[in-house]
């Protein structure tokens, strides 16, 4: 059990890092700039993929303590990995604008709770 908690903590750190990276990549950018920059879009999708994969390795009992739609993150990662041709760049921008901050808050709280 202790190893699972340690492994989960490491994966949550990976998620926090991915969030921060996306925020750094997109800081000061507009949606129009984002949509015009293929390299930026690819980099952001890679980070979302890392986040989704890391969620798969966080113990379910830990995730259950936090009210967040974890399944949506997993589903988004699967879309990126397996159905990338169906991804709408405008929808990704909306996730960055509307959902990433909420995830960041939950992950920050989870990391604080690990320190207790």
Q: Does the structure show a pLDDT above 60 at 1?
A: no
Residue 13's CB is within 10 A of a number of other CB atoms, namely 15
Q: CA 12, CA 67: separation in Å to the nearest integer?
A: 16
Q: CA 101, CA 116: separation in Å to the nearest integer?
A: 23
Alpha helices in 1-116 (DSSP H): 2-26, 31-36, 38-56, 60-63, 70-82, 89-94, 100-115
Range(s) of the domain holding residue 99:
2-115
Taking the alpha carbons at both ends of the chain, their separation in whole angstroms is: 17
Counted domains in the chain: 1
pTM: 0.93
pLDDT of residue 3: 82
């Amino acid at each position: 059990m202790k190893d699972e908690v340690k492994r989960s903590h490491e994966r949550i750190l990976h998620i926090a890092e991915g969030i921060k990276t996306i925020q750094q990549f997109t800081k000061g950018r507009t949606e129009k700039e984002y949509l015009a920059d293929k390299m930026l879009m690819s980099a952001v999708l890679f980070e979302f993929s890392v986040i989704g994969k890391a969620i798969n390795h966080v113990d379910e009992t830990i995730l259950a303590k936090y009210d967040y739609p974890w399944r949506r993150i997993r589903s988004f990662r699967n879309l990126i990995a397996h159905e990338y041709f169906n991804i709408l760049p405008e929808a990704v921008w909306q996730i960055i604008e509307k959902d990433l901050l909420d995830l960041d808050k939950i992950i920050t709280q989870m990391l604080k709770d690990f320190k207790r």
